[in-house]
Amino acid sequence: MLRTSLADSDGTPRLAIVGIGNDLRCDDGAGALVARVLNDQKQAMNGSHQLVFDLLVIDSGQAPENITGDLRAFRPGMILFIDAADMGEAPGTIRWIAMDEIDGMSASTHRMPISMLAGYLELELGCDIVLLGIQPASTEMGEELSVPVRSAVDRLTGELGELLLYHDVVPALA
């Protein structure tokens, strides 16, 4: 879905990835952790790879409404929210969530519902907004991710990193 949506853009696609979550509520911190890992991967590239997209990655914590100024300044063509979401699936399941499914689906530790924020950003920025949910095992107090959610974070950061970050810079042949 993400690859197809971004391939339709004119010029260099501008993608904002917003990881959402509370690190003090076990698996609710999954989205925020994905954003931090992607930012670390981006920093580690340090010129040895080129980005396929103009990419902004933000760990918004539990208050994604606080980063709307950064998003307005970046002007993305698409915003990808990543968040723990109770989808009634097995812990660690990763799934695209349609905008009409968002209401009440978050792990409910955020100040503003994602649906309200997404609606505002669609109107304000005129960009596509998608949500990738990770099924939590627990959102109780604690700092450790469950094993299935940690595995999902690792899988997701690997796949997103490969898709968005890892294209070797190859010198042109004379």
Average pLDDT for the chain: 83
Smallest CA-to-CA distance from 73 within 3, 125, 129 is with 125
Cite the beta strand spans of the chain per DSSP E: 14-20, 49-50, 54-61, 78-84, 94-97, 128-134, 167-168
- Looking at residues 88-110, what average pLDDT do you find? 76
Asked whether the predicted pLDDT for residue 48 surpasses 70, the reply is no
Q: What does the alpha-carbon distance between residue 124 and residue 132 come to, in Å, rounded to a whole number?
A: 21
Residue 88 has a pLDDT of 93
pLDDT tens-digit series, residues 103-123: 655 444 556 778 889 989 999
> Using an 8 Å Cβ cutoff, are 140 and 20 in contact?
no
Poorest-confidence range of 51-55, 67-71, 167-171? 167-171
- Domain locations along the chain: 17-166
Please tell me the CATH code under which domain 17-166 is placed.
Answer: 3.40.50.1450
Residue 3 has a pLDDT of 53
